[in-house]
Chain A
Amino acid sequence: MADAHGHLLFACGSSLYGVPADTASEVVNVPALTRVPGAPSHLLGVFAHRGEVLPVVDLSRLTGKPLEDTARRAVVVRTPRGAVALTATRVLGVSTLEGSFDRLGESGVHQHLRGPAHAEQGEVAVIDTQTFVEFLASAG
């Protein structure tokens, strides 16, 4: 099955992720972060960006694949429930995906990842951005 809309693809460590291109507002360099007391470990901190506070979510920690190095860039995703910046070690651009869009798990973050989808660059986990942000709010 192919999706009708493009996805912004990015890597976090050895894993590839995709978000619907219309939810990805920009790619930013991650500045010095302000830590938040009591925040879960996948929430690296926050920074002020264009008059709002964006939380930076480390996908590698969230999915249990911690990186040796810190990602320096992040993809900003906007949904009606809020915006988050997702760490990225590489940004690969917008692509049309094929393959499966089934849930990759029944619990935790994996129920908000879909796939396995396929792009030229390899297998992609597609982030269901709407439910993903709701999950972050409940897990925060």
Chain B
Amino acid sequence: MTVTASDHISGLVLCHAGGQRLAIPAQEVDAFEPAGEAARYAGAAFESDARAPADAKVLRHRELTLSVDRVEVFATPVPRLAVPSALSSSWGGALVCFVECAGELWPVVSLERLARGDGEAAR
């Protein structure tokens, strides 16, 4: 992730998991590939009983893995939108910011936090 002086972000991996949207800074993703091993499912951050589909993709960052339904890379710089104070402590403070990509609002979160399961099943 590159944050410029104008507060834009360049390089995001847009993920869909359990019908929800998540954006992860590309800098935190070393690789993504078809699921071939057990990995924490990002959809569980929204619904604790959510399960990854058979054709899930696995994101990899160092020793950490996270599975999602599908991914796409978004390279266009976009302005970062601040996290509202009402959400500042939500999900263990893992929310980095929000961005608007392709007409939709995406929460930008840390893969490391998601993969470790911080704040999961809070609902």
Binds B, one of A15-23, A29-37, A95-103: A29-37
Tally A residues with Cβ within 8 Å of B. 27
When distances are taken between beta carbons in the complex, the residues of chain A under 8 Å from B74 are none
**Do A57 and B91 form a contact, CB below 8 Å, given A37-B22, A48-B98?**
no
Q: Say whether A55 contacts B87, CB under 8 Å.
A: yes
Query: B91: nearest residue on chain A (CB-CB)?
Result: A38
Binds B, one of A2-10, A39-47, A117-125: A39-47
Q: Say whether B105 contacts A36, CB under 8 Å.
A: no
Query: A135: nearest residue on chain B (CB-CB)?
Result: B86
CB distance from B68 to the nearest CB of A (A): 12
A107 within 8 A of B: no
Task: Indicate which residue in B20, B100, B119, B120 contacts A48 across the interface (CB closer than 8 Å).
Answer: B100
Q: Say whether B86 contacts A84, CB under 8 Å.
A: yes
Q: Say whether A46 contacts B85, CB under 8 Å.
A: no
Query: Could you tell me which B residues sit within 8 Å of A by CB distance?
Result: 20-22, 45-46, 81-92, 94-95, 98, 100, 104-107, 109, 114, 119-120, 122-123
For the complex with contacts A38-B123, A40-B123, 18 further pairs of A-B residues with Cβ separation under 8 Å are A34-B98, A34-B105, A37-B45, A37-B119, A39-B90, A46-B105, A48-B98, A48-B105, A51-B81, A52-B81, A52-B82, A53-B82, A53-B98, A53-B105, A81-B85, A136-B86, A140-B87, A140-B88
Query: Could you tell me which A residues sit within 8 Å of B by CB distance?
Result: 34-41, 43, 46-48, 51-55, 57, 81-84, 133, 136-138, 140
